[in-house]
Amino acid sequence: MQVFKKSLFLSVNIFAMLLLIDFIFTLFSINESGVFKSVLGIVFDMKYTETEISTGFGVEPKMFIYFLLCFLIVFGINLIVSKKK
């Protein structure tokens, strides 16, 4: 149970950092109106007009799959490390 809690905590933090990097990189690389999707599944709906810039955000279901993958990798590493101790 302790390995599960530690893995969950680490994977949430790692995935949050990856999302932040992906968010910043994608947001600042957009230079026109339209719908854009980031690598990890963040959807940006950008609208540029002469007077304003409007940005909408959403998520794709693949974000959950990427989180599960991150969790399973961290959990596997923690299991291997805990068995060696």
Model pLDDT for residues 9-18, shown as the tens digit of each residue: 999 999 999 9
Domain count, the chain: 1
Q: How large is the average pLDDT for residues 17-34?
A: 91
Domain that holds residue 11: 2-84
Q: Is the pLDDT reported for residue 68 higher than 80?
A: yes
pLDDT value, residue 24: 93
Across the chain, mean pLDDT equals 91
C-alpha closest to that of 78 among 16, 15, 5, 13 = 5
Question: What DSSP designation does 49 have?
Answer: -
What tokens appear for 70 in the block? 């991150």
Instruction: State pTM to two decimals.
Output: 0.84
Question: CA 32 to CA 23: how far, in whole Å?
Answer: 16
